[in-house]
């Protein structure tokens, strides 16, 4: 099963996307629908709302008068918090029931308007954000009968486009023709969601293909931040911080389009304890990788655990190492040294290009690592010397 978080600002067309995904076979869990369900007449949720806010929030039939309720909470954060404390736990519980009832191979789309505002993005293996320009959203809301001032106020009360962009693994632009949106949704379903679900269910890592260098992508840092948050949420209290490491963490350095992350743990027993949670979050375990390169000549292997990505749209290497271990330290040291030393960066890029020229068509990444290993061995003392003279200390950032 794959759980997808779907969100977007009011008037963006999120419901249109949800309907299209359902037509393709997704199971929809709509938070807005559930929010109405849990305060329907006769529910304990409505009874609690009346107990807190009074019978003035009921209409003549005894149902919740939603405009009256909105008038009470819209400009009063404390009142809104009281209402959320009644509604949100019930919506969460009902969502869990619906997800548990879905087929094992389902793509479950959870339509959550305030997914970003409530900090829920890291809880999903994939987040889809539907975007439309603010003025277009205002026009749509006015066509629905909302006064323009109210439309603008509601848009302003939600997260910014920048915040939603930062949370998005996939961003669907719905500023134009609805037919174009349908084509984009269909492509997302066929090329990513269906394959992601199968990989997740079968604990299968997506192959990155033959390692090839690409020019630096300005989206790498933001992508890494999303993935860091997802890994941290899955690891929970057993995690000791997640760092973006490897070549994509070094500004301006050409690299393979693979995000390397390092999860710190107190012991590898903790890594084993969070294995299933990481796999459910989209990072299957690779049982045959358990030592590190580079390593000093003659040193013992540096044990770790390794997870990859089930998402066909994003290659990830997740290295799990004990905090303070040689492997954990050197991953951070090499990153920071290369960030600081232009000469070292140039040398490393030359080594990477030589490896690509020699093994560029070979999908076996181990050959590329082996080709670079002598350089790593030769420069470890230089990196250590830099650490000593710069008063370097390990940092996740």
- Tell me what pLDDT residue 203 has: 96
Is 210 within the bounds of a domain?
A: no
Is 209 within the bounds of a domain?
A: no
Over range 306-330, report the average pLDDT: 96
Give the residue from 141, 172, 201 where a domain finishes. Answer: 201
Instruction: Look at residues 253, 359, 262, 273 and name the one whose alpha carbon lies nearest to residue 304.
Output: 262
- Tell me what pLDDT residue 363 has: 57
Over range 88-96, report the average pLDDT: 94
- Tell me what pLDDT residue 250 has: 97
Cα dihedral 232→234→237→240 (10° resolution): -40
Q: Quick one: what percent of the chain has pLDDT higher than 90?
A: 77
The pLDDT-based confidence of 334 (bands split at 50, 70, 90) is very high
Tell me the binding residues for ATP: 11-16
Kindly state whether residues 165 and 235 are assigned to the same domain: no
Give the residue from 201, 231, 254 where a domain finishes. Answer: 201
Supply the CATH number for residue 344's domain.
Answer: 3.30.460.10
d(CA 320, CA 35): 39
Residue with tokens 């999860």: 263
Maximum separation of any 2 CA atoms in the chain, in Å: 82
Give the residue from 139, 170, 201 where a domain finishes. Answer: 201
Is 394 within the bounds of a domain?
A: no
pLDDT at 295 over 80: no
The pLDDT-based confidence of 123 (bands split at 50, 70, 90) is very high
Q: Which tens digit of pLDDT belongs to each residue from 136-176?
A: 999 999 999 889 998 898 898 888 999 999 999 999 999 88
How would you class 99 by CB atoms within 10 Å of its CB: exposed for 0-12, middle for 13-18, buried for 19 or more? middle
pLDDT at 299 over 60: no
Kindly state whether residues 366 and 264 are assigned to the same domain: yes
Kindly state whether residues 146 and 50 are assigned to the same domain: yes
Is 74 within the bounds of a domain?
A: yes
Would you give the distance in Å from CA 301 to the centre of its chain? 32
Structural domain harbouring 285: 220-389
Kindly state whether residues 303 and 385 are assigned to the same domain: yes
Instruction: Look at residues 259, 124, 305 and name the one whose alpha carbon lies nearest to residue 200.
Output: 124
d(CA 4, CA 239): 24
Would you give the distance in Å from CA 52 to the centre of its chain? 36
d(CA 108, CA 28): 6
Over range 55-80, report the average pLDDT: 89
Is 237 within the bounds of a domain?
A: yes
Q: Which tens digit of pLDDT belongs to each residue from 344-377?
A: 999 999 998 988 888 766 556 566 677 677 888 8
d(CA 73, CA 68): 9
d(CA 203, CA 239): 21
Is 215 within the bounds of a domain?
A: no
Supply the CATH number for residue 159's domain.
Answer: 3.40.50.300
Kindly state whether residues 63 and 143 are assigned to the same domain: yes
User: How many domains are there within the chain?
Assistant: 2
pLDDT at 115 over 60: yes
The SS3 assignment for 387 reads helix
Cβ atoms 129, 174 nearer than 8 A: no
Kindly state whether residues 266 and 381 are assigned to the same domain: yes
pTM here? 0.90
Kindly state whether residues 178 and 126 are assigned to the same domain: yes
- Tell me what pLDDT residue 50 has: 94
Kindly state whether residues 194 and 258 are assigned to the same domain: no
Residue with tokens 């066509």: 143
pLDDT at 71 over 90: no
Reduced DSSP (H G I as helix, E B as strand, rest coil) percent helix, strand, coil of the chain, to 5: 55, 15, 35
Kindly state whether residues 319 and 246 are assigned to the same domain: yes
Cβ atoms 351, 305 nearer than 8 A: no
Distance of CA 342 to CAs 262, 376, 393, 394, Å?
Answer: 24, 16, 20, 20
Is 212 within the bounds of a domain?
A: no
Tell me the binding residues: 11-16
- Tell me what pLDDT residue 130 has: 96
Kindly state whether residues 163 and 288 are assigned to the same domain: no
Kindly state whether residues 124 and 167 are assigned to the same domain: yes
Q: Quick one: what percent of the chain has pLDDT higher than 70?
A: 93
d(CA 127, CA 50): 35
Torsion over CA: 249, 238, 107, 93 (sign): negative
Torsion over CA: 87, 107, 27, 155 (sign): positive
Average pLDDT, the chain: 91
d(CA 34, CA 20): 20
Is 331 within the bounds of a domain?
A: yes
- Tell me what pLDDT residue 138 has: 92
End-to-end CA distance of the chain: 33
Q: Which tens digit of pLDDT belongs to each residue from 177-225?
A: 889 999 999 999 999 999 999 999 999 999 877 778 999 999 999 999 9
- Tell me what pLDDT residue 211 has: 77
d(CA 305, CA 271): 7
Kindly state whether residues 7 and 147 are assigned to the same domain: yes
**DSSP-derived secondary structure letter, 249:** G
Distance of CA 281 to CAs 120, 130, 142, 166, 227, Å?
Answer: 13, 22, 39, 18, 10
């Amino acid at each position: 099963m794959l759980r997808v978080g779907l969100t977007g600002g009011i008037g963006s067309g999120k419901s249109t996307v949800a309907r299209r995904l359902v037509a393709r076979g997704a199971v929809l869990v709509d938070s807005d629908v559930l929010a109405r369900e849990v305060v329907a007449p006769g529910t304990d949720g409505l009874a609690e709302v009346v107990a807190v806010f009074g019978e003035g929030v009921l209409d003549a039939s005894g149902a919740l008068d939603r405009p009256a309720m909105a008038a009470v909470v819209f400009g009063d954060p404390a009142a809104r918090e009281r209402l959320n404390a009644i509604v949100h736990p019930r919506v969460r519980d009902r969502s869990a029931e619906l997800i548990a009832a879905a087929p094992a191979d389902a793509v479950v789309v959870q339509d959550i308007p305030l997914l970003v505002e409530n900090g829920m993005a890291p809880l999903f293996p994939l987040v889809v954000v539907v975007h439309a320009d603010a003025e277009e959203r205002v026009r749509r809301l006015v066509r629905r009968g909302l006064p323009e001032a109210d439309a603008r106020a509601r848009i302003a009360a939600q997260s910014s486009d920048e915040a939603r962009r930062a949370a998005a693994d996939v961003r669907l632009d719905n500023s134009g023709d609805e037919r174009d949106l349908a084509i984009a949704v269909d492509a997302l379903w066929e090329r990513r969601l269906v394959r992601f679900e199968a990989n997740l269910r079968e604990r299968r890592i997506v192959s990155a293909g033959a390692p090839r260098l690409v020019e630096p992508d300005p989206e790498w840092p933001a992508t890494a931040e999303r993935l860091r948050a997802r890994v941290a949420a899955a690891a929970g209290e057993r995690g000791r911080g997640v760092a973006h490491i490897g070549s994509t963490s070094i500004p301006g350095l050409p690299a393979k389009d693979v995000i390397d992350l390092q999860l710190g743990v107190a012991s590898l027993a903790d890594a084993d304890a969070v294995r299933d949670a990481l796999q459910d979050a989209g990072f299957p375990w690779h049982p045959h990788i358990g030592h590190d390169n580079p390593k000093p000549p003659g040193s013992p292997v540096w044990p770790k655990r390794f997870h990859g990505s089930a998402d066909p749209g994003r290659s990830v290497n997740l290295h799990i190492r004990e905090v303070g271990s040689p492997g954990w330290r050197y991953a951070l040291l090499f990153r920071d040294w290369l960030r600081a030393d232009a000469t070292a960066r140039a040398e490393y890029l030359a080594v990477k290009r030589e490896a690509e020229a020699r093994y560029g068509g070979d999908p076996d990444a181990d050959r590329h690592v082996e080709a670079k290993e002598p350089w790593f061995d030769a420069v470890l003392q230089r990196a250590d010397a830099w650490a000593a003279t710069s008063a370097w200390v390990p940092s996740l950032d």
